[in-house]
């Protein structure tokens, strides 16, 4: 019996939350750990994170960013220095109060984010304008004490990268924050095939201590938003608290202008909920650790020898043209074998049996559509390469069409409530008052996901108060 056979997947229409967990289980991406609220990321799931890490790391370095590493433990006094920052993270902070068999003189915070300790270090690294810009990133784990957890989406410990930069002017800092938002957008859309809506957060939703937060908001299949990545212009708020100063060209002391930006393993949850179906995970080719799985079909040991040899030969040919592939020659029923890789979402399944070997052919099956076709073995590398491009494009376009279909513009409160309840993204006028924003959230559960860059200036009235508004903002329920 194949180990995947009993991993049933609840249909999305029946129970979306259970479907999500079932897909993770069936694809062997992660599981709950003995530590409450934390997860174990399994090899197949971690391979996705490795692909994300590798791709983004290259893009960061191309923009001049260097990697470093900073401590997991942060003295409590550092976190307390920036009032808005500590207030924003206080409910999620985990503390170390005892170590080495005794109580510590000062509690240590387990890293919820690293602004405070990194900027304390930056204050020693920066002296002159010649030291700027300082462009640093770290790949790390963070801990935020969550009461309600869900694999990848919200766990007590998760993996991420956090970039931190210092600049001589606000204009340079803001340009860097926007630049990194664009890096994330290009990655989301061109690699993970996730269409996102770029914009800026409202003051109520922005990062604690930031002057401006730029965000990317994709739509999941249940109509909810999932914050994909954020980039913050921190202004001089942290610089003034942590004495991040430099002497300018006129030998005058100035505070630095800073940014921070990050993406986490939450993005894997976004990938699952954007593309997967009732059969299991669906992987975009450009982020898949296995792009083509070669499955053998052999009724007897003699046939298995011949078929496996052909499969291995094809595997070498695929790897030669840069296709990430693996051969599955396990002695289980073909249907079980196909089902296993379908659940794991491998973009292309290659089927080879004795008749195929005799004819010099193989069968290619697309995971996104289920379409099959027989091709000559010698043509398989070219055919599969073309299929991978098609699948990548199809997944993005399919998600984009769904997003467009489920994004509604409304002008009245009644229309707004109905559209939110129906699980849509909603573009509506808002009076820019935080109290109005809070009231809308309280009554509908919807938050302002962003003020989209794509929305033009237009005269209107707030859907809740009737006060004047100059631009529609994006509302949705979210994860």
The string of pLDDT tens digits covering residues 19-53 is: 999 999 999 999 999 999 999 999 999 999 999 99
Phi-psi region of 101 (alpha: psi -120 to 50; beta: other; left: phi over 0): left
- Where is pLDDT greater, at 140 or 5? 140
Tell me if 402 is assigned to some domain: no
**CA–CA separation, 257 vs 168, rounded Å?**
6
Same domain flag for 218 and 329: no
The pLDDT of residue 148 is: 85
| CA neighbours closer than 13 Å in the CB half-sphere of residue 461 | 6
Are both 45 and 166 inside the same structural domain?
yes
Q: Which of 1-10, 16-25, 346-355 has the lowest mean pLDDT?
A: 1-10
Structure tokens at 103: 């109580």
- CATH code of the domain in which 55 resides: 3.30.930.10
Q: Tell me: the pLDDT tens digits for 48-85?
A: 999 999 999 999 999 999 999 999 999 999 988 877 66
* Long-range contacts formed by 71-75: CB under 8 A, 24+ apart: 71/111, 71/117, 72/110, 72/111, 72/140, 72/141, 73/108, 73/109, 73/110, 73/111, 74/108, 74/109, 74/110, 74/111, 74/114, 74/116, 74/117, 75/106, 75/108, 75/109, 75/117
Name, in order, each residue with C-beta under 8 angstroms of 65's C-beta and a sequence gap of 6 or more.
Answer: 135, 136, 137, 163, 165
The pLDDT value recorded for residue 85 is 67
Residues 342 and 197 grouped into a single domain: no
Structural domain contains residue 122: yes
Domain presence at residue 41:
yes
Query: How would residue 199 be classed by pLDDT, with cut points 50, 70 and 90?
Result: very high
- Residues 313 and 454 reside in one and the same domain: no
Say how far apart CA 256 and CA 411 lie, in whole Å.
Answer: 43
pLDDT of residue 143: 95
pLDDT surpassing 50 at residue 329: yes
341 and 264 in a common domain = no
Count the domains in the chain. Answer: 3
Check whether residue 108 and residue 34 sit in a common domain. yes
Residue 285 lies in a domain: no
Residue 87 — very low, low, confident or very high, per pLDDT cuts 50/70/90? confident
Give the mean pLDDT of 390-414: 98
Residue 327 to residue 292: CA distance in whole angstroms: 9
**Quick one: pLDDT at residue 269?**
98
Confidence of residue 86 (pLDDT cuts 50, 70, 90): low
Read off the pLDDT of each residue in 409-433 and give the average, rounded to a whole number.
98
In a domain, 55, yes or no: yes
Q: What is the reported pLDDT for 381?
A: 98
pLDDT of 4 above 70: no
In a domain, 198, yes or no: yes
Section 204-211 average pLDDT: 92
Taken in order 268, 269, 275, 281, the sign of the CA dihedral is: positive
User: Could you give the CA distance from residue 328 to residue 344 in angstroms, rounded to a whole number?
Assistant: 13
CATH of the domain at 463: 3.30.110.30
When the pLDDT of each residue in the chain is averaged and rounded to a whole number, the result is 96
**Which of 440, 102, 48, 452 has its CA nearest to residue 282?**
48
Six-digit token pair at 464? 């809740």
Which residue range forms the structural domain that includes residue 196? Answer: 16-275
Final residue before a domain boundary, out of 275, 298, 327: 275
β pairing state of 425-429 and 407-409: parallel
Position 161 in a domain: yes
Boundary-marking domain end, from 228, 249, 275 = 275
Contact between 395 and 275 (Cβ < 8 Å): yes
Q: Is residue 1 part of a domain?
A: no
Report the CATH number at residue 358: 3.40.50.800
Higher pLDDT, 92 or 83: 92
One domain, residues 212 and 115: yes
Is residue 96 classed as helix, strand or coil in its secondary structure? Answer: strand
Per-residue pLDDT at 155: 96
pLDDT above 50: residue 1: no
Does the pLDDT at position 16 exceed 80?
yes
- Of 240, 275, 310, the last residue of a domain is 275
Residues 220 and 255 occupy one common structural domain: yes
Q: pLDDT category, 413, cuts 50, 70, 90? A: very high
How many H-runs (helices) and E-runs (strands) does the chain carry?
14, 25
Summarize the confidence of residues 240-261 as an average pLDDT: 97
- 262 plus 301 within the same structural domain: no
> Based on the domain organization, do 100 and 138 belong to the same domain?
yes
Residue 170 — very low, low, confident or very high, per pLDDT cuts 50/70/90?
Answer: very high
pLDDT at 6: 63
358 and 270 inside one domain: no
Dist. CA 21–CA 213, nearest whole Å: 31
Confidence at 333, pLDDT banded by 50, 70, 90: very high
Distance CA 377, CA 372 (A): 15
CA of residue 365 relative to chain centroid, distance: 27
Closest CA to 72 of 94, 46, 50: 94
Q: What local confidence, expressed as pLDDT, does residue 79 receive? A: 84
Task: Tell me, yes or no, whether 161 and 94 share the same domain.
Answer: yes
């Amino acid at each position: 019996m194949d180990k995947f056979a009993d991993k049933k997947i609840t249909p999305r229409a029946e129970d979306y939350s259970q479907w999500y967990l079932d897909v993770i289980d069936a694809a062997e991406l992660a599981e709950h750990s003995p530590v409450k609220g934390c997860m174990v990321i399994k090899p197949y799931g971690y391979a996705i994170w490795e692909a994300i890490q590798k791709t983004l790391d290259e893009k960061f370095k191309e923009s001049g960013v260097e990697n470093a590493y900073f401590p997991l433990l942060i003295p409590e006094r550092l976190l307390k220095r920036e009032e808005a920052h500590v207030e924003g993270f206080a409910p999620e902070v985990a503390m170390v109060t005892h170590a080495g068999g005794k109580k510590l003189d000062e509690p240590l915070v387990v890293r919820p984010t690293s602004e405070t300790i990194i900027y304390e270090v930056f204050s020693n690294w920066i002296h002159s304008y010649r030291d700027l810009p300082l462009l640093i990133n770290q790949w790390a784990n963070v801990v935020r004490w969550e009461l309600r957890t869900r694999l990848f989406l919200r766990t007590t410990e998760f993996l991420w990268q956090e970039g931190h930069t210092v600049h001589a002017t606000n204009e340079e800092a803001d340009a860097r924050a926007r630049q990194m938002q664009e890096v994330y957008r290009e990655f989301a859309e061109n690699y993970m095939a996730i269409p996102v809506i770029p914009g800026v957060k409202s003051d109520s939703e922005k990062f604690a201590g930031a002057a401006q937060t730029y965000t990317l908001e994709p739509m999941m299949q249940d109509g909810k938003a999932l914050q994909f990545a954020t980039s913050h212009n921190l202004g001089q708020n942290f610089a003034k608290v942590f004495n991040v100063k430099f002497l300018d060209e006129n030998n005058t002391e100035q505070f630095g202008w800073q940014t921070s930006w990050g993406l986490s393993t939450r993005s894997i949850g976004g990938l699952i909920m954007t593309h997967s179906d009732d059969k299991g995970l669906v992987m975009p080719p450009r982020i898949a650790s296995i792009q083509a799985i070669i499955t053998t079909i052999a009724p007897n040991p003699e046939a298995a020898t011949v078929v496996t040899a052909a499969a291995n030969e094809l595997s070498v040919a695929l790897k030669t043209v840069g296709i990430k592939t693996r051969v599955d020659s396990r002695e289980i029923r073909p249907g079980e074998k196909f089902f296993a890789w379908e659940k794991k979402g491998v973009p292309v399944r290659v089927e080879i049996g004795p008749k195929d070997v005799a004819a010099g052919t193989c069968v290619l099956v697309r995971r996104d559509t289920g379409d099959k076709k027989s091709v000559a073995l010698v043509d398989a590398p070219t055919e599969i390469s073309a299929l991978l491009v098609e699948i990548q494009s199809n997944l993005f376009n399919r998600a984009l069409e769904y997003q467009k279909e489920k994004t509604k513009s409304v002008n009245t409160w009644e229309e707004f409530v109905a559209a939110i309840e129906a699980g849509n993204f909603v573009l509506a006028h808002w009076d820019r008052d935080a109290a109005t924003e809070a009231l809308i959230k309280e009554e509908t559960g919807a938050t302002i996901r962003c003020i989209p860059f794509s929305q033009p200036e237009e005269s209107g009235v707030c859907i809740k108060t009737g006060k004047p508004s100059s631009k529609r903002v994006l509302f949705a329920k979210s994860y």
